[in-house]
Amino acid sequence: MEGDSNNASLNVPTVEEIRKRTEQAWKVRPCLWQIEVVQAILRRDADIISIAGTGMGKTLTFWMPLLFAPPGGLQVIVTPLNLLGEQQVAILEKYGYKGIFISSDNSTPSNWHDIESGVYNALVINPEMLMKPRGGFQRLTQNPSFRRRIISVIFDEGHCISTWSSFRHEYKEVGSLKYTLPADIPRVVTTATMTDATLDEIKRILHLQNSRLKVFHCSNDRPNIHLTIIKMKSPRNSYEDLKFVLLNETFLIFFDDISHSIEAHRALTKDLSPSDRKRIVWFNSDMSMTFKENTIKGLASGEVWGLLTTDSFGMGLDLPNIKLVVQWRATCSLTTLWQRFGRAGRDPKSEATAVFLVEKELFDDEKQKAATKRGAKQRKKSQPAKRQRTTGGPALTFISENPHEQEESNSSGTDSEDELPRTAPALAAKTGQNSKRSRQREIDADLDEFINAKQRGLPCVRVPVAKSFKNDKACEYQICGLLANVWHTHMNTLTASKHLLCDSSKPDGCPRCRLPLVSAATFTIPHTSVALPSHPSSPAEPQPSQRSYSTPWMPSTTSSTTPSTHGGKTRPSRTTAGPSSTILAARW
């Protein structure tokens, strides 16, 4: 749209000016990459892709332009989750600016009038309200004075434009903003996970032109999160493989099916004392906003120990006390998995653990075993049938092959519901029915390589992640000794880091945008022998500082537990007595 451009912001401040003003206003020293993003927004001559790891400070770049905008300037933030929108408004208010989050609950004429009148410095909105036909935003964009106030339109968690557009259809329509807003209003897409395919799809939907596109690419590696990939051992519908979380710090377990999260909640809490069952909560999009807000407050305070959740818990939500994230089964993409792992260890100075519980049939060694077994069956089936004589009768032919033969017992780690009933072979022959177990799961190639990194000889489980997200080409990526040789072998390229330029006063550069070295931390997951605190024999209710169990879910052995503190509360830590599985996290 021509004729109503805002040219007052073309005098772009220098790096030093932006850093000084930000430090004075908010006592925060922005990194060089953040300043460069802000300069691009204020220059108003290009659309922007901003890629940086979870917790690196992408949100700060939303608000810094307000410090340099003309009076009445408005930032428009498009968020995929209502919870995230509420959090962004709260953060902005701490910086001394007013924002409003618009959803279907408060999309009133009064609120839209206040937005139009300049009451707010930021409008945070979900895509449904943004693109609602004849809705408040579409009405305001017909007002030239309102259009001139817009600094930029920022798509937070921008990968959702591609990955969620199949069920959030308004994401498919956001490209029309190119034709309803002035051409000099930058559209900014921010995310921690951007593959080449996702970028191409976003460029198509938003009608982004390469000639008017600036890409700022930081590494999305999170070296403070120790990665652990576990082959599932127990039947899936028992959820036994999840019970190690009960002895850990505040945790999140991600599921891709709400019903699975409810079943897992039942399994995890059945042996807890009545007062402690409420401390583990299943959490999804069906919950009310009040319930979600109260649950997050409980998680932050330590009253809630953990959530069994879907993506509705929220990308971008900043809870610094989450030390453990678990993904239940390989039912998502590597992009989604990396987003979920990024909920842990939000403070780069802290350490956290991410555990990926994977179906055993997705590992290369198990695939080989299954292929060998199928080959043996096929060879046996192709052999001539054996003939046996019975007294006084003709020769009879016996075929030993049974299409419904169970490959393994329930201890194999597969669902009991995945197994077909044992019916007559003749019926199977008529129907052509095959066991579900024989069907091969299809997963993304990147996720497959991540799962099988060790078995395929990769020196670090992070290599497939770095390849998928092009971390070797990220300008801020600081190579660590562990991966130095890996890039030459698998990437064939190295890029200099900018952390030294960000803060030249320190020999090691900026500590915030410099990636720490990956540490060789171990993570012990008990399988069969853990000493849990028994339910108190006294009639008094157990103190909220301890996790109490009416009956231990694992056999008790003679061992001691060392209490760990969390939020001022004491909880039993893991023990290593008895058999356990110790996995070397992040390194092999």
Q: Express each pLDDT in 296-333 by its tens digit.
A: 889 888 899 999 998 866 665 678 889 999 999 999 99
pTM of the model: 0.74
Does the structure show a pLDDT above 50 at 400? no
> 223: which 2 tokens?
């070296």
pLDDT band at 445 (very low <50, low <70, confident <90, very high): very high
464 membership: H or E segment, kind and range = helix 462-468
Whether residue 136 contacts residue 110, with contact meaning beta carbons closer than 8 Å, is answered with no
Cα atoms in the 13 Å half-sphere on the side-chain side of 93: 10
Residue spans per domain, the chain: 15-217, 225-360+445-584
Q: How far apart are the first and last CA of the chain?
A: 55
Work out whether strand 187-191 and strand 150-155 pair parallel, antiparallel, or are unpaired.
parallel
> 108: which 2 tokens?
């009133």
- Residue 212 CB: number of other CB atoms within 10 A? 13
Whether residue 29 contacts residue 15, with contact meaning beta carbons closer than 8 Å, is answered with no
How many Å separate Cα 115 from the centre of its chain?
33
Instruction: Report the C-alpha gap between 95 and 361 in whole angstroms.
Output: 50
Quote the pLDDT of residue 562: 38
Q: Which residue has the higher pLDDT, 424 or 513?
A: 513
Which segments within 363-492 are labelled E, that is strand? 387-388, 396-397
Quote the pLDDT of residue 564: 41
CATH class of 225-360+445-584: alpha beta
Quote the pLDDT of residue 315: 64
* Range of 30-39, 460-469, 481-490 with top mean pLDDT: 30-39
Quote the pLDDT of residue 438: 41
pLDDT band at 515 (very low <50, low <70, confident <90, very high): low
> 222: which 2 tokens?
């999170």
Over residues 105-123, the pLDDT tens digits come to 999 999 999 999 999 999 9
- Residue 438 CB: number of other CB atoms within 10 A? 10
Same topology, domains 15-217 and 225-360+445-584? Answer is yes
Does the structure show a pLDDT above 50 at 215? yes
pLDDT band at 588 (very low <50, low <70, confident <90, very high): very low
DSSP states along 195-234: -HHHHHHHHHHHT--GGGEEEEE-----TTEEEEEEE--S
Does the structure show a pLDDT above 50 at 93? yes
Long-range contacts of 90-95 (CB under 8 A, 24+ apart): 91/59, 91/63, 92/63, 92/121, 92/122, 95/25, 95/26, 95/63
Does the structure show a pLDDT above 70 at 233? yes
Q: CB neighbours of 162 closer than 8 A, spacing ≥ 6? A: 197, 198, 201, 202, 205
CATH for 15-217 is: 3.40.50.300
Quote the pLDDT of residue 3: 54
Sign for the CA dihedral angle at 107, 108, 110, 116 comes to positive
Instruction: Report the C-alpha gap between 259 and 253 in whole angstroms.
Output: 13
pLDDT band at 472 (very low <50, low <70, confident <90, very high): confident
Instruction: Report the C-alpha gap between 195 and 179 in whole angstroms.
Output: 27
Quote the pLDDT of residue 349: 82
Does the structure show a pLDDT above 60 at 427? no
- Residue 315 CB: number of other CB atoms within 10 A? 23
Comparing 10-19, 305-314, 363-372, the range with the smallest average pLDDT is 305-314
Residue 465 φ then ψ, to 5°: -65, -45
Over residues 132-173, the pLDDT tens digits come to 999 999 999 999 999 999 999 999 999 999 999 989 999 999
Does the structure show a pLDDT above 80 at 435? no
Sign for the CA dihedral angle at 500, 504, 507, 513 comes to negative
Comparing 64-68, 196-200, 462-466, 495-499, the range with the smallest average pLDDT is 495-499
% residues pLDDT > 70 (the chain): 71
Query: Across the chain, what does the average pLDDT equal?
Result: 78
Quote the pLDDT of residue 285: 75
